Structure 1
Amino acid sequence: MVINFIEEKIYMHNQLFSPDRATSSGTLNIRRVWEVRGDLDYQNTWNKGYPGKGNILVRTLAGEGFIRLKNGRRLKCLPETLVNLAPEMIAAYGCVSPQWSFWWIECENPSSLKFPLNTVINIRQVKDELDFLAESVRLLPGGETAAAEAAASINLLLQKWYRNWRDGERKISPGRDRLRNIITIMQASAENPLPVATLAKKACLSEGRFRHVFISSTGISPKSYYDSLRLNKALTWLRDTDMKLADIASRLNYSSAFHFSRAFKKHFGKPPSEYRPK
């Protein structure tokens, strides 16, 4: 399926590449890919549910765009950046400086993605990236074999992006490589968050320096990152289990179900009950 929109005076290109069903190369399932070039009139409110279960990758090529999350954060999308988005966190997105040219890649099996969630990261373009991705996505509507080849190619590009990001991070600051290890520790201790002083000590940084490096790398404070980890765990339990709110609150170290529900609604924009299976 291919869709093009061209308006008089105001130019906007919005092209969809979609296989008959989510296509896997054995690592990450590709659901749909949009190629978008939008002007200042390209403004979108995310007011309907995402039909898939996975994540959305936004790769900006030119111009500038924004993505506003339901917790109030505004992500700045500049050329050679990538964002790995949780769909339930998106509130709105649009062009800031035309033309915002980007790829919108909908994928399943997000656990295989190694990029941080809801965070803008800088990744330099790989050789012939635009042509490679354009040729790959055009295979998606071409039948099962062609779609599988496209998925394999896109997965290969993701690996190249990841390697470029890691290499770039190492060149920027050795401290950020240590920070990546700290983030792994934080993910493992989400239910019982460690004090910032303890995290800073593990990173071999002063507490002040640790906070600065953490915020400059992730865009949020260590506490906010822990809150996000805990609430995303809660979201999974709400969807996949019949755990009571009081049990979830206790498991995640909230003082009560009331305080948990208030934090959850502030983060996701909806109360926990909205995410229970109907």
Structure 2
Amino acid sequence: MKEKILKKREGFEGQQLIVVPRKISADFLTQDPITRQLYITDIGYYPKARYHYIKRPSGISQHIIIYCIEGKGWIEIDKKRVDVLPSQFVIIPANTPHKYLSEEQEPWTIYWIHFKGEISAYIVGLILQRAKNFRLHLTYNENRIRLFEDICINLQKGYGDDNLRYVNMIFNHFLSSLLYEEKFNHAGQEERQDIIGQTITMMQEKLDQLITLQEFSQYAGLSVSHFSAVFREKTGYSPIEYFNHLKIQKACQYLLFSAATVKEIAVRLGVEDPYYFSRMFSKLMGMSPSEYRNRNKTAEH
């Protein structure tokens, strides 16, 4: 039986809709070194969008994000239909057949964005790795909505070069809030760190000491092998490599903002052999401590 669908031809009360002129996209967005990586082509907000229906048998050339904050609907992507509920967002890859419909009794309220760019397909791929049937759950966050509203407000101000760069750099942050929701939700908030986070804090407090892998694992309350595996999974580095990175980070500060010799800096960082310290520094920074100091020394006035 063929489904009966009521379609809304007019707009929705309180809606926002901004379409970036295609000439702007061609003349600037696809040419500028910043914006050509990732840029918005269309953006909108549809509150309580009853009978909102779209059907695109061949898809469109842009990727689409639909973020539902209220009400219900469904989206069919490449012949797979998923229900869309509050606090869910759906990603529709470019050139993918799709259609969607807002529920009549509880129509959805959605934020949506169309976007393109050299790295857009890669970002969509990252999102799809986390998504189930093109859909992810999101915790409602006012800061994310503010990012969206900031994009809209500034696009309404015109299409100057600086404004377009600013808007699309915000969009990068907006996408990061979707892809790395946990980090975004905890930004600026006090939180109980996991054991790896606690260990890293301990590393930062003990940069003047020489600490073994066994001591790190003992602090974490894990076996050496399990601790090493979990630490690498969390950070991408072994515990000792990470600790050395923090030491070199601190060494750079000493070299730039103090008159301490290389030997004195090595001692401050718990490394008794200054030659070993210099080799470690050179390996990570691509130059010796002295070269680093000379290249980056603040000019005296």
Q: As a proportion of its length, which structure holds more strand?
A: 1
Q: Which has the larger radius of gyration?
A: 2
Q: TM-score, normalised by structure 1?
A: 0.49
**What's the TM-score, normalizing by structure 2?**
0.45
